[in-house]
Each structure stands twice: as structure tokens, then as C-alpha cells.
A and B are shown apart, each in its own frame.
Chain A
Amino acid sequence: MPKSLISIHDFTKEEMLHVLDVAQEFEKNKVQPILRDKVIATLFFEPSTRTRLSFETASNRLGARVIGFSDAGNTSVSKGETLKDTIKMVSNYVDLIIMRHPLEGAARYASEVASVPVINAGDGANQHPSQTMLDLFTIRQTQGRLTDLSINMVGDLKYGRTVHSLLQAMSHFNPNFTFTAPDELKMPQEYKDFLDAKGIPYHETRDLEGSLNDCDILYMTRVQQERFTDPMEYEKVKNTYNLTASMLGGARENMKILHPLPRITEIAQDVDDTKHAYYFKQAENGVYARMAIISYLLGYK
């Protein structure tokens, strides 16, 4: 079975650091068409513009050709083809598969039936490891290191898969965490147990203003409406946090604000012009991180 990236646990700490170094090299030199003779499939069984464009840009910058679909509606999947058959067929055509699927575990299964590497671009609420890699890349870029950082995660810490994966990835680097969330969206116990087992300190709060000044990274998240079954619950918490420029007066010099985007009301527009805003650069970094993942899995870097 070729090496795939399905879950952030599939990379060791050394592999993560290696891929980050490769990403940094791609940032410096964006034009490296080392995959000129390769074909890459982007199979999006569930639409996601941002992630798909980022992966396709990365593939194109590497010189590869891209085939695929952005919506399963017009494919044989709608005729009842099994996921196995779709993946078997596509893996005969291409050198690497990038897939997003609404079902959890779909990417892991695809990697077991495919004859080529698979990159998970999101499987339901489960994993989205390329996001984690670009988050790590961005954190290192802004702070010059990954070790001994204070990270404040804000917003939907219950359903947000990006914060869960980032927490696990950062656990290699001796961090300390603040979890800022309303009671309804607190960090699940299993992740706190994970940190306890590793001896990593964290504290929990509901108060955003009180937790802004002692962190190096402020990782904001959107409260995702689609994760709520009860619309009343969503209404109650959706506007809990609203970060504005005026709240940032006491923040550390080096503090940067990250957000996986799209944002709605949790970061006001006036924050964009402060020296702390970094979320657009973070999105750009997604292309370099994905170039690095693709070329690493194909054995080129």
C-alpha cells in the first residue's frame, strides 16, 4: 500500500517537520514543475471551493495535470456505484488521489483499495490533515519555532475538527493551551484526557477579552451551523465571540490571529488591518503545504 495522508497521526513528528521544510522551500521558489508527467485526481464527493482550489493550485504549480469532479451529482456515484469501484477505476488513471467525502472514514477506506497515494481533503467531521499541516507551517512562520508556544483556541472547540487535529499535532512541541469556548462548545473530555496523559498544561475559560494577552497564537474558529441538529442551540451560541481591533491593545507583540476561514462575525473587519491579522496569509500557505504533501507522498521531496 503506498503512503497516504488520511489522518494527522499518519505522519510522525519527523515527517511533519520534513514536510514543513519542503513547504518553506516551495514558498521561496513557487515554480517547480517536478510533476510534469503526473496526473492527479481531485474527487470532491462534497463541494468545498476553498480546499479544492487550493489543492488544484498546488497540483498545477507542480506541473501536474488535474482531473476530477467538484460534486458527486453528475458522476456514476449517483447511479449507485460503490466507493470502492469509483476509487479502483480512478486509481488506474492517475498517480495520486485527493478526495473529500461527507462520510467519516471514507478516505481511510479509499486508501486501502487504491493502488496510488490518497490525500484526505476532509471526511465529514473526522479529519482534514492538510489543514493541520498548513496551520503548523503558519505557526512556525510567524513565531520562528513550534516549541514552547502559548496557543489560545477560541470558538467551537466541540465540533471543530481543525482544533482537534491541531491540538494533537502541537502535542509534539511542548505547548500550553487556553480553550476559550461557551459551555455548549467546550473541548471534549477525550482531548483533555489526551493532554493530561502527555502532561501538557491547559486552562478553560469563557471570557475572550480576559484570555487575549497571554498567547502567541490566537486560533479563532467559526461556529459551524451545519454541525448543529438543533437550530435553537445554534442561535444561542453563534454570536458568542466578536473580536475587534480595540480588544487587541494588550496583546503580545508577536501574537498572530489564525482562522481556517470562512469567518463570519467572530472577527470584525477592522482586525484585518492590525499587525496581528494573519488568516489570509495562512490561506495562501495552504498552497505551499499542499505542494509539499503531494510531492512528499509521490516520493519527489
Chain B
Amino acid sequence: MEKGGKELKVSAIKNGTVLDHIPANQLFKVISILGLKDCANQITFGTNLDSKLLGKKAIIKVADMFFEETEINKVALVAPDTKINIIKDFEVVEKKVLRVPDEITGIVKCANPKCVTNHEPITTKFSTEYENGVLKLHCHYCEKNTGSDNLKIITEN
């Protein structure tokens, strides 16, 4: 919670959603996952901010926007430890923890170069599973796994 005494690097919003503790190098992936490029709301973000936890962190504040659960959970693919704060009248009214969705449609590219989705105009579709604690995306089409270390985000649709 950012209030009193503490200087804010990114100015406060009255109402909206704050995504905090994003690893700095994942900021632009988070922006593209949430489609903020095409969002008309007021958005402020900061990156390479000092963080005790992450070293360098990023933060995004989207005014007057409250994401659907399924929408915001997609962020877990690239930044699972992001903290979501819902702001109403400058106060944090709700904190959310991200949960990786069971199914991912679009957003991620299949890592298998021979997968049909990489050659034809097809929306990708994955189910998520954990193998020894590591997140894997199982492709609905080619039935191969894409590891979380191998995730490529589709930016253009």
C-alpha cells in the first residue's frame, strides 16, 4: 500500500487497478498480454524501480479499469508473483493473487516449429499443467508441451 510519507514514483490513481511487483524485464509482456496498447484509459507505468524483493521491478496503474478474473490471470504466465490491487477512491479495497488459468487461448505461441498453429492462421489453445513444479503449456493441436521458460507472446493479432 502506498500512502503517507512515502514518495510515489508513479502517481496514484483514484479508481482502477494497480499491478505491482512485476519483474522489470516482463513489463512489456504484461502490457501486451492485457492488450493495454489499445486501451483508451489513462495508464501510467514505471519500470526499473528499486525493489527489495526483485531488485528491479515495474508497476502499472490503469485508471477506471477492473479486469475480469480470467483476463488478469493471464498475467500469471509471465509474472506469477504480480500483486493486483483494486483501488477505489485512492484506497486499496481488494488485493488479488494470480492463479494460472487451466486453459489459455491465444496470447502464447506454440514452441513446436512443426505445429500447424505456426503455419496457418489459427488461434493457439493450451491446457496448463505442472511438471515437477514447472509450468507447461500442452498444445491442443500438436500435443507438445511448451515450457514456461520458452514462452513467446503473440503481440499482433
Contact = CB atoms under 8 A, between A and B. Distances in A.
Interface of A: 7, 82-84, 101-106, 108-109, 123-127
A125 B115 CA distance: 10
B71 to A, nearest CB: 24
Contacts of B139: 105
B143 A104 contact: yes
Contact of A103 (B115, B121, B140, B144): B115
Main secondary structure of the interface of B (DSSP, over half): loop
A108 B141 contact: yes
B151 to A, nearest CB: 18
18 contacts: A83-B120, A103-B119, A103-B142, A104-B112, A104-B141, A104-B142, A105-B115, A105-B139, A105-B140, A105-B143, A106-B120, A108-B116, A108-B141, A109-B116, A123-B142, A124-B114, A126-B142, A126-B144
Contacts of A124: 114, 142
Interface in B113-136: 114-117, 119-122
Interface residues of B, number: 15
B114 A84 contact: no
B141 A84 contact: no
Contacts of A102: 114
Contacts, number: 52
A84 B116 CA distance: 11
A104 B120 contact: no
A105 B141 contact: yes
A82 B121 CA distance: 8
Contacts of B115: 103-105
B95 to A, nearest CB: 37
A102 B116 CA distance: 9
Contacts of B112: 104
Contacts of B114: 102-104, 124-125
Given A103-B116, A104-B116, A105-B115, A127 B122 contact: no
Nearest to B110: A105
A109 B143 contact: no
A127 B143 contact: yes
B120 A82 contact: yes
Q: Which of A82, A123, A126 has the most CB of B within 10 A?
A: A126
Contacts of A127: 143
A84 to B, nearest CB: 7
A105 B142 contact: yes
Q: Which of A82, A103, A125 has the most CB of B within 10 A?
A: A103
Contacts of B120: 82-84, 103, 106, 109
Q: Which of A7, A104, A105, A123 has the most CB of B within 10 A?
A: A105
